[in-house]
Chains A and B, each alone.
Chain A
Amino acid sequence: MKRFRRQFFLGTFALIVATLMALWLHAKFSHVLPDYAFLTGWVLFAAMLVLTFFNARKKLPFLPLGKAETWLQIHIYLGFFIVVLFLIHLDFRTPHGWFEITLAWLFALVSTSGVVGLFFSRTLPRRLATRGGEVIFEKIPALRHVLKSEAENLALGTDAKSPIIAEFYTKRLAPFFTGPRNSWLHIVESRRPLNALVAELDDLHRFANDAEREKIDKLAALVRQKDGLDYHRALQLALKLWLFVHIPLTYGLLVFTALHIVLVFGFSGGAR
């Protein structure tokens, strides 16, 4: 924790200093250097490549390129700083023209998805740890299958002989155990669906004998386990899905940026 705090304060301090320096340089040179936008553009592009290389770095673990953790810290703080660079490159104006507007939107989406991803990666693991349990995302379907089999055995097994439980299982629990449920509600930390289902199971107690009540209690425990599994799946999926926006759009942004560079030099003052 101490190390994390040190990293946080160091990174934030570096970010603030870099931002102030960039703004100072902008104020000093933006009206003096006619090709100022070319310079800021190249700096911006270089920063984009460094940020993109973080993804490549994870795929090249055998190369001595420093620790992935260091790269992540650079990615986060440079990611914030690149927004400042982008605004400086635009000279704090809104872009004009279809191409530039598309480029700006791609940049905004990549940046926003990055911030969302950072928020997820800082908050969701803590929530998972608080909820308890440790599940590998890829094993969740198998674990769900196991829970479903156990619940089926309890409710519909040969020694069941309980029409109340069988009917309840068929109508309410079978769909619940079949696949992931209530992902959005898990994201917003709502336990309303679980409490409703458990309350319905509790209501069955009134119509059940002692043996059936024991089964109902076991089913309630399985329901809680399945809900926990869904919670893990929802949060772990959120931790993975933001990358579906961040990474593809990053490469789309690089394609547009490459064309932007060609167009700028092709149509600039020096390209008559």
Chain B
Amino acid sequence: MSEQLPAPDFDAQNYARPNQNWVCGHACEGNSCRQGPDARGRCRATAECQPVLETQPGEQKGRWRCTRPGGTCESGPLPDGSCCRPIAKCSPVPTLRVWRGRATITVMAASCAMLLVLLGKPPWRNSFISPGEISRVHSGEAFVALAATNHLNQNCGACHVAGNSGTHGIVKAALHADPGFFGFHKFLAATAGEVTTIDEACVKCHVGRSFHQPNAAAISCSFCHAEHQGKIMAATTDANCIFCHGDAAKMVAARAGNNLTPVIHHFAEDHPQFRFITDNLRDPDTLKFNHALHLMGATIPNLPGGKKLDCMFCHQSDAAGAFMKPVNFEDNCRVCHSLQFDPETPQLILPHGSAEFVSAFLRSLPRQYADLAKNSPDENGFVQQKLADLRTQFGSGEDLERRIFFSTATFGPEAQIGTLSGGTRALFPGCALCHEVKNSSSGSPEITKPVMPERWLAQAKFNHAKHANMACAQCHDAVHSKDTADILLPAKETCAACHSPRGGVVDTCATCHTYHNTLVVAR
């Protein structure tokens, strides 16, 4: 490569060398030497010139000639051939470029050192590289205990193989990942929600992922349950549900032939009406109960204490407040329907719960009356009198039994007395007023056991406590229901009045629905 010549006005004595890494230590005085420092920052100053030995023809020793740029000096070279004007050595100064290079190397070295230190110690490594706090269910004491039971690592290694090992293991896991570093075709071919390798870690505890429908497509756990988002795992959003339920291509095929709404996006918009309404479902219970009569009827007496019968008397919330406790005879019916059959002897009360017990009780009436008259001087006379009165009123014992089981006509005492007294009536119409009573094959009366479902819409979530500021009648149209078969649940429109964007109350899918079957259990 040919060397370029300097420009005519180039001052070789005062060359700044801005592209070099070191500057002459005398530069700040304007006296930088001609040579300048070498590449490693060492001063190369020697003397102002390097004399040249010139030997004339016939001479043996020759003469040293000064070669100083800019003209020879007065004294000339010394006899030994060295320059008489040595240049004082300097301490070359690094340029900004060198300092910048040093800063770059320092930052890189500091970064590497910091990363090596943090990655080298497992507790530091885990907390440093974690992309966010683990949810409480996957990091709390219960999880640690469960992980120990399942022989799992209790840290990152519980889910990530790389979490079990050090830096070397992380690199190894990265190199063996599938898709790998450059698996671009797989990145592009992957479909949302597809099961990934890391899902295997989930099923170690969540045995056999169970889906809400047997034909639901397999979906990655992390598609709905994003970890590393904080103490509480991020809530599943409508987007997760709509991913399938909003996709006509998936749902039309999945729901072909079952008459279910294929595509659903929002509760208030395209969510179907509840099926108990569309299918005209009826309550199959054989108990005869008239809500309208009990709530609005003029013949319904007040409760003990003078309070009017209302919904809350029979329908009381459970301990959690979410649902109502089952209605039962003892707590909710007996206060009015006290099963007193003898108007003259209201102390005698029929047993409730078994037709056989009632029959046995009636057949032991002499004994019952005798027990009542135990302290009376004429016990036998009292019993005979009572039995005679019953015969007069009802006929034979068989007639009495049939009337008690099958009659719907009211009889019994007009008002309760004794310890049962509360000012309410205890008219006893017979079991058939409320129950379905049939003759069994043996001829004895048989009462069909009432079956009251504890919950309707069992797949949906509901919490009465959250609706405590609403009147019962806003959702349950009981005042117009005369038939037990009426299912007194609200229609979708009633719910959507509040649970919709217009109503302002949360209307996500997960508000009412759960995805997994309840069969999902932790090992």
Contact = CB atoms under 8 A, between A and B. Distances in A.
Interface of A: 31-35, 38-39, 42, 95-100, 136-139, 141-146, 240, 243-244, 247-249, 251-252, 255-256, 259, 261-272
Given A96-B131, A99-B131, A138 B23 contact: yes
B23 to A, nearest CB: 6
B174 A263 contact: yes
Contacts of B180: 265, 270
Interface stretch (B107-115, B275-283, B374-382): B107-115
Contacts of A249: 107
A177 to B, nearest CB: 13
Given A145-B29, A249-B107, A270-B179, 7 more contacts: A35-B179, A252-B107, A255-B111, A266-B171, A269-B196, A269-B198, A269-B222
Nearest to A269: B196
Contacts of A34: 190-194, 196, 220, 223
A117 to B, nearest CB: 13
B186 interface: yes
B187 A138 contact: no
B475 interface: no
Contact of A267 (B110, B127, B163): B163
Interface of B: 14, 16-18, 23, 27-30, 32, 95-96, 99-100, 103-104, 106-108, 110-112, 115, 127-133, 156, 160-163, 170-171, 173-181, 184, 186-188, 190-194, 196-201, 220, 222-223, 228-229, 239
A247 B96 CA distance: 13
A136 B104 contact: no
A271 B174 contact: yes
A32 B161 CA distance: 27
B106 A142 contact: no
A262 B107 contact: no
A202 B17 CA distance: 40
A33 B223 CA distance: 12
B219 to A, nearest CB: 11
Nearest to B106: A248
Contacts of A261: 174, 181
B18 A138 contact: yes
A32 B186 CA distance: 14
Q: Which 3 A-B pairs have the closest CB atoms?
A: A96-B132, A269-B196, A141-B28
A251 B187 contact: no
A252 to B, nearest CB: 4
B29 A142 contact: yes
A198 to B, nearest CB: 26
Given A34-B193, A35-B179, A138-B18, A244 B100 contact: yes
Given A270-B178, A271-B177, A272-B161, A141 B192 contact: no
B177 A268 contact: yes
A267 B160 contact: yes
A96 B228 contact: yes
B171 A146 contact: no
A136 B16 contact: yes
Nearest to A95: B131
B108 A138 contact: no
20 contacts: A31-B192, A34-B193, A34-B194, A34-B220, A38-B187, A97-B129, A98-B127, A136-B16, A141-B28, A144-B28, A146-B30, A244-B100, A248-B100, A248-B108, A255-B112, A266-B162, A267-B160, A269-B197, A269-B199, A271-B176
Contacts of B18: 136-138
Nearest to B193: A34
Contact of A272 (B115, B132, B171, B201): B201
Nearest to B160: A267
Contacts of A39: 184, 187-188
A149 B112 CA distance: 48
B96 A240 contact: yes
Nearest to A32: B192
Nearest to B32: A142
A266 B173 contact: yes
A255 B160 CA distance: 23
Nearest to A98: B128
A263 B30 contact: no
B32 to A, nearest CB: 8
Contact of A33 (B14, B176, B192): B192
Contacts of A100: 131
A259 B108 CA distance: 13
Contacts of B170: 262-263, 266-267
B100 A243 contact: yes
B129 A263 contact: yes
Nearest to A146: B30
B104 A35 contact: no
A68 B483 CA distance: 90
Contacts of A240: 96, 100
A227 to B, nearest CB: 19
A35 B198 CA distance: 14
B187 A35 contact: yes
Given A248-B106, A267-B162, A97 B190 contact: no
B30 A266 contact: no
Nearest to A144: B28
A125 to B, nearest CB: 16
Contact of A142 (B30, B111, B112, B161): B30
B115 A271 contact: no
